[in-house]
Chain A
Amino acid sequence: MRIGVLTFPGSLDDVDAARAVRLAGGAPVPLWHGDHDLKDVDAVVLPGGFSYGDYLRAGAIAARSPLMQDVVTAARQGLPVLGICNGFQVLCEAGLLPGALTRNSHLHFRNRDQVLQVERADTAWTADYAAGQRIVIPVKNGEGRYVGSPADLDRLEGENRVVFRYVDGNPNGSSRDIAGVASENGRVVGLMPHPEHAVEDLTGPSTDGLGFFTSILKAVVNA
């Protein structure tokens, strides 16, 4: 299974994301933002970092890069996409996911191990979890406060598209403790915390993040 990992200028966690794909048993395929070539991948991961230095708004310029235009077209046709942290910001800016990520309410960069509740275990990226399960993975952001108009948030909840919520403390002031959301078809998922940093006991607080990458390999096989 070929899982693309898209690198922008300023991406930081593309190497960890590729490593997580490999540990889960997939073949990571490096993708470059300036190309127009998705290299026949079965799914795409948009990694964390500070693409284009977060200029204009976090993720705003990356969302308009050449390869992202191809990712948007392919995602609308069903290509699974996972956006982690900056990747989540890119997905919101690209219009593939609703809402926006803004400056943390307390203005501090927050870096810690975070408990999340899995709200949806039927997306392409979360099938190896159980609904209601709690996982611990790192969170690290300065602009991770998920916001939307109350009407948009109500619609999102009504459509059951909140995939993760923060538990035991909201690290950034996100509305309704929302840590991650999904597209209508459940194939595009974005979240602020970092599953790719929790795939080995040596370096992570847990191996709870590995499930994202094993889930997508199964989803691709079954597609």
Chain B
Amino acid sequence: MSRVVVDVVLKPEISDPQGQAVLGALGRLGHDSIRSVRQGKHFVLEVDGTPDEAELKQIAETLLANPVIEDVELHLTKD
């Protein structure tokens, strides 16, 4: 079995009010060195057999992420 990790983040030009709220909280906690926070999603897929990279790319780009607003990164690891 293989494990595939998919990270999804908002594109740089799309504002991220949730990340900004986290940044505000960090400032209130005294973490003044943190300059920016972008919040995203992290998916872990367990795949039978050898993963089909093209199929996974399609899954990531058509369902896990919305390409209008989000960028996606695939990470394949073999057990």
Q: Which residues does A use to contact B, with CB under 8 Å?
A: 56-57, 60, 64, 92-93, 98-100, 102-107, 147-150, 152, 173
Contact = CB atoms under 8 A, between A and B. Distances in A.
B66 A57 contact: yes
Contact of A92 (B15, B18, B63, B68): B68
Contacts of A147: 14, 68-69
B40 interface: no
A149 B13 contact: yes
Given A60-B63, A64-B63, A99 B68 contact: yes
Contacts of A106: 17
A93 B17 contact: no
A107 B10 CA distance: 16
Interface residues of B, number: 12
B45 interface: no
Interface majority SS on A: helix, strand, loop or mixed? loop
A152 B13 CA distance: 13
A56, A98, A152 interface centre (most CB from chain B within 10 Å):
A56
Interface in B22-79: 63-64, 66, 68-69
B17 A100 contact: no
A100 B15 contact: no
Contacts of A105: 15, 17
A103 B18 contact: yes
A104, A107, A147 interface centre (most CB from chain B within 10 Å):
A147
Nearest to B16: A103
B1 interface: no
Given A105-B15, A107-B18, A147-B14, A100 B66 contact: yes
Contacts of A104: 17
Contacts of A100: 66, 68-69
